[in-house]
Chains A and B, each alone.
Chain A
Amino acid sequence: MPLLEIKNLKLDFIAGDKSLRAVDDVSITINAGETVCLVGESGCGKSVTALSIARLVPTPPARYVGGEILLNGRDVLKMSKTDLRGIRGGVVSYIFQDPSASLNPVFRIGNQIKESLKLHRPEKATDEEVIRLLKLVGIPAPESRIKDYPHQMSGGMQQRVMIAMALASEPKLLVADEPTTALDVTIQAQILDLLLDLKKRMGMSILLITHNLGIVGDMADRVAVMYAGQVVEMSPALDLLRRPLHPYTKALMNSVPKLSSNLQRLSAIPGNVPTLGNFPSGCRFYPRCPSAQPECANTMPQLVEVEPNRWVRCLYAKSL
C-alpha cells in the first residue's frame, strides 16, 4: 500500500456565485521512502494540491468536490477534526516557501518547536529534545538559539528551524512547498542537501514542490508536472529529464538555462498560465503549445500510460 494516494482530487474555489476549479482530477501516489517532485508554473494548483493532503486549504473559499486522499489507507477528506489533527504533523508535516512569514514572529523558536512535540510526542517535550532537533538540522550553538525569536535569525536558519519543527513529530511524509524559493542560491543547495540527508536518516517520504526543474534531477525519484490544475505528465525523474514527452514539459526544460550553451536570451514559454475560470476548452495547454493541432482545441486529452510508468496528458504524445 502506498503511503499517500491522491485519487482524482477535484477542488473548487467559490468566488461569489461562481465556482472555479483549481485542482482538476489530480492523482498522485507516493510510496514510503520515495521523493516525488511536483513541478509547474505559479498558479497551476501545486500548492493547493499539497495543502489538501492534510486538508489545510480553508473551506470556504475552497470546496472539495470529489476524489479521495488516502493517507496510510484512510481518506483524509472524510476524517473528523480530531483525527485530522492527529494526521497534521503526526503523519504529514509541512515546510513552506517563506520561513520568515511561516514562523510566528512573537514566539521564541524553542517554544514553537516544543509545540509540535507537545502535540505529537508529549513525553519528549523537553529543551534537550528541541536542542537535539536543532542540532539535527545543522543550527550551530543550539543551546543559545533556542531562546531566539525568528527575526534574530537569517532566512536559511529560519528554514532550518521550520524543518526541525516539521521533523519534531517524526512524520512519514514531509511536504516541502518551494522550500528554497525565498533563499539565496548557496543556501538553497544547503537546504536541499539537508532534506536529502534527513530523508535517508529518518526514512520518510518527501513531496517537493518546485517550479525549478533544475533541482528535480538531484532530488526526485518521480516527477509530476502540473498545468492549469491538471497533472500533464508523470514519470520517473531521470526518464523525464532525458526525454520529456509532454510539450509543456519540453517547453519547461527549454527554459532552464544551461551552463554549457552560449545563449543570448533565455527561451520562455509564450503567453501566461490561464487564470482560474478561464481555461480553454479541449487541451488546456494548446494556446501556448508549439505543436498544437486543430483537434487539440476540441478534445480534452486524458492522462494515459504511453510507456511503462510514464503517464502523459496529450492527444499526440506518441507521435511527437
Chain B
Amino acid sequence: MLSFIIKRLLHMIPILLGVSLITFFLMALTPGDYFTQLSMNPQISPEKLAQLRAEQHLDKPWYIRYLYWLKDAAHGNLGYSAAYKASVSDLITSRLWNTFLLSFAATLLAWCVAVPLGIWAAVQKDSWVDRLCSLIAFVGLSIPDVLLALLALMFAAATGLFPVGGAQSSLYDLMSPGEQIWDRLHHLILPTIVLAASELAGIMRQMRSNMLDALRSEFVTTARAKGIPEGWVIYKHVLRNAINPLLTIFGYSLAGLLSGAFIVENIMAWPGLGRLTMEALSAKDYPLVVAGVVMAAALLVIGNFIADLLLAWSDPRIRLK
C-alpha cells in the first residue's frame, strides 16, 4: 500500500512538468508580456524596460525561460510577480487556502445534500420526492454558475443578509477571534451555495441511478430472501455497492470545483486561486499564471489519487495487491 502511494506521488512529477511546459508554450504564443503596457508610460525609459525584462529572462526564448523557471522551482522558488510586486509562493499560499476552503465547503455541502437525496429518490422511485429531486437537478444543471452567482449577489445586495462579495470584512483585523471566525463563515456561505448547486445536481442524479442499478442486482434478492429488514438491505447491501462509482466521480469533482471556482471567485470577488490566475492571465504575469495552473493541476491529480484510495478501500475487487 505504501509503495503504491509513493508510486502515485512520483507519477505526479511528470504530469506537473508537462502542465508547466504546455503553459509556458501557450503563454509564449500570445503576443506581449507584462511590461508591454509599461512601454506606453513615458516616464519609463526603454533601457529600464529592457533591464526589467532581462531580470525575468523575458529577452530569451520561451524554452530557455522554462529551464530557468524549472531550476528556480526545484529550489522552491516559483518566481516573482511583477504585477503584485511580491513572491509568487507567498501570493499562492494565501490564495490557495481560500480556494481550498471554498472548494472544500462546497464539496461537503454538495455531497451531504446530494447523496441522501439521491438515495431517497431511488428508494421512492416515481413518487413526488423523486419528481421533486428531478426538478431540483434539472434546475441545478440548467442554470449556469455565472447566472447563479449574479443572482446570489443580487440577493445579498437586496436583503443585506449576506456580504456582497469578498472573503472578509474591512474591519476584520479589529475583530475578536470569535467574530473573525463568524465573519469568514458569513462570507463563505453564498459562494459555497452557488458553487455547490450545479455540483449537487449531478451527484444526486448519479447517486439515484447507482442506487437503482444496485437495487436491481441479484444480491438484493438474496439479501431479502434471507429475511433481512428492508432498511438494512438498502443501507448495507445496496448502498455499499452504489457508492463505488461515485468515489471515482469524487476525484473529478474536486477538479470541477476548481474550474467552477474560477467563475464564482471572479464574480463574487472571492480572493482565491482561480481569480488570481485569471487576473495574472490578463496582466500577462507569467510566473503567477504558471504557478496557478500548476497548482490547479496538482489539486486535480491529488483529487484523483484520493478517489483511487477511497475506491480501493471500499471495493475489494479492485483492492491493490
Q: Which residues of A contact B (CB under 8 A)?
A: 51, 54, 56, 81, 84-90, 93-94, 96, 98, 101-107, 115-116, 119-120, 149, 151, 162, 165, 169
Contact = CB atoms under 8 A, between A and B. Distances in A.
A6 B151 CA distance: 63
B227 A85 contact: yes
Task: Give the 10 A-B CB pairs with smallest separation, nearest first.
Answer: A88-B227, A89-B227, A101-B218, A94-B225, A104-B219, A149-B316, A85-B227, A89-B226, A102-B222, A102-B218
A90 B237 contact: no
A169 B230 CA distance: 18
B33 to A, nearest CB: 55
B241 to A, nearest CB: 6
Contact of A87 (B217, B227, B230): B227
Nearest to A60: B126
A106 B227 contact: no
| Chain B interface residue bracket vs A | 20 to 34
Interface in B196-248: 217-219, 221-230, 237, 240-241, 244
Contacts of A120: 227
Nearest to B218: A101
Contacts of A101: 217-219
B315 interface: yes
Contact of B227 (A90, A102, A103): A90
A209 B222 CA distance: 16
B227 A86 contact: yes
A48 to B, nearest CB: 12
Given A119-B227, A165-B226, A169-B227, A98 B317 contact: no
B314 interface: yes
Nearest to B238: A104
Nearest to A54: B225
Interface in B301-320: 314-317
A106 B226 contact: no
B218 A98 contact: yes
Nearest to A90: B227
Given A106-B241, A115-B226, A119-B227, A149 B218 contact: no
A220 to B, nearest CB: 22
Given A104-B241, A106-B241, A88 B219 contact: no
A119 B240 contact: no
Contact of B222 (A81, A85, A94, A149): A94
Contacts of A105: 219, 241, 315-317
